[in-house]
Amino acid sequence: MIITVTLNAAIDKSLAVPNFRLGRRHRTVDQRTMAGGKGVNIARTLKALGQPVIATGFAGGATGTHIVEQLTEESILNDFVRIREESRTNTSVLDPTTGEQTEINERGPAVTEQEVELFRDKLIYLARGAAIVVFAGSLPRGVEPELYASLVRDLERMELTTVVDTDGEPLRQAVRAEPDVVSPNVLEAEELVGHEFASEEDRSVAVREIAALGAREAIMTLPDGCFAQVLVDGQSRLKRARIEPREPVAKRGSGDAFLAGYLAARYEGRPVDHCLRFGVACGAESTGRLGAGLIDPREARRLMGDVELSLVELPAEVG
């Protein structure tokens, strides 16, 4: 079983609005409402890929009820802690004429200490039947930035793989708790290592730095694939996976699809190269769809053939 944790779950409203202009009145030509938040998106993709998954996290108020109902309607197993404050709705406007996407994320509920402890208990209980636990997305208001780090530590003694996909201070702290995998995008990785990347070499060095901070494996995604410091037969190796970038319909959630693909393949016990190829293919496939986490598994498998993989040799050791 794979558990996905979404502490800031949401209802995601995606609107397609041609010629979107500020200060004007518009009509949508397409719209879709789905349960969202990164962990929920990852659960959706894992389910589509045929993997056993339970989505957990916090859900509050009428929007929280809606999130749980939508998941249940999609046959995604879920077990959320109910909180007093109302879960958020995130709205994204996609202009099909320009491909531009505008996102407005609500502030989201504050969570109390007692609700956090209820969640901790639930997670430890659920994790007993799990092989992988994925923490994804931002933290809700009111919790300490080290929450992911402390949850990763709680799971340390259990024989499972911990994965963290977040940014800022929660990521910085989580990396130090030595999770098995972290998967920042370029911006998140730049923030973590504290400088911008100007070249392929900068990016490779950064991924190795992130692993040196504590993560067993560090994968940095970018629109043309990923850099990954991964373990191959116990040895740390730096790999570069590349795919020809496409004109995306909706880019949002492609990192979530990447991670779901990578973890689905890992869960099946595939070799690392296969896992990276499949992750990149799933990320690429998902850019063709409006709505985060949606994917066509057959098309994703076909795209694996378009992913080029290479081993990166770095000129010198870091630090």
Ligand X SMILES: Nc1ncnc2c1ncn2[C@@H]1O[C@H](COP(=O)(O)OP(=O)(O)OP(=O)(O)O)[C@@H](O)[C@H]1O
Q: Which residue lies nearer to ligand X by CB, 36 or 60?
A: 36
In the bound state with ligand X, the residue whose beta carbon lies nearer, of 142 and 223, is 223
Residue of this chain nearest to ligand X (CB atom): 255
Contacts with ligand X in 233-252 (CB under 6 A)?
243, 245-246, 248, 251-252
**Where does this chain touch ligand X (CB under 6 A) — which range of 14-22, 46-54, 232-240, 253-261?**
253-261
| Residue corresponding to tokens 């249940």 | 72
Tell me the window of 129-137, 248-256, 261-269, 286-294 that interacts with Mg ion (CB under 5 A). Answer: 248-256
Q: State how far the Cα of 39 lies from the Cα of 9, in Å rounded to an integer.
A: 8
Nearest approach, Cβ of residue 82 and ligand X (Å)? 27
Residues in 126-185 that interact with Mg ion by CB under 5 A: 185
* Positions 152 through 191 that interact with ligand X (CB under 6 A): 185
Q: Are 85 and 60 in contact (CB under 8 A)?
A: yes
Interface with ligand X (CB under 6 A), residue from 61, 96, 142, 223: 223
Site for ligand X in 275-294 (CB under 6 A): 280, 283-284, 287
Query: Smallest distance from the beta carbon of 253 to Mg ion, in angstroms?
Result: 8
How far apart (Å, rounded) are the C-alpha atoms in residues 227 and 163? 16
Q: Which residue, 272, 244, 275, 273, is CA-closest to 258? A: 275
Site string for ligand X, 88-127 (x = CB under 6 A): ----------------------------------------
> How far lies 19's CA from each of 22, 23, 33, 209, 234, in Å?
10, 12, 21, 43, 52
User: Beta strand pairing status for 225-232 and 235-242?
Assistant: antiparallel
Q: Which does 253 bind (CB under 5 to 8 A by kind): ligand X, Mg ion, none?
A: ligand X
Contact between 254 and ligand X per CB under 6 A:
yes
Give the Cα separation of 301 and 284 in Å (integer): 11
Nearest distance in Å: CB 248, ligand X = 5
- In angstroms, the Cα distances linking 62 to 66, 109, 164, 190 are 6, 12, 28, 37
What the block records as the tokens of 315 is 């000129």
Shortest distance (Å) from residue 105 CB to ligand X: 12
Strands lying side by side in the sheet with 88-94: 30-36, 10-16, 88-94, 101-105
- Nearest distance from residue 254's CB to ligand X, in Å? 3
By beta-carbon proximity to ligand X, the closer residue of 246 and 301 is 246
255 makes contact with Mg ion (CB under 5 A): yes
Q: Answer with the entry of ligand X, Mg ion, none that 254 interacts with (C-beta below 5 to 8 A by kind).
A: ligand X
The alpha-helical segments, DSSP class H, found in the chain are: 38-48, 61-73, 113-127, 147-154, 168-176, 186-193, 200-213, 254-267, 272-286, 297-303
DSSP 141-184: BTS-TTHHHHHHHHTTTSS-EEEEE--HHHHHHHHHT--SEE--
Angle between the N-to-C axes of helices 61-73 and 38-48, in degrees from 0 to 180, rounded to the nearest 10 = 10
Site of interaction with ligand X (CB under 6 A): 185, 221-223, 225-226, 243, 245-246, 248, 251-256, 258, 280, 283-284, 287
Site of interaction with Mg ion (CB under 5 A): 185, 255
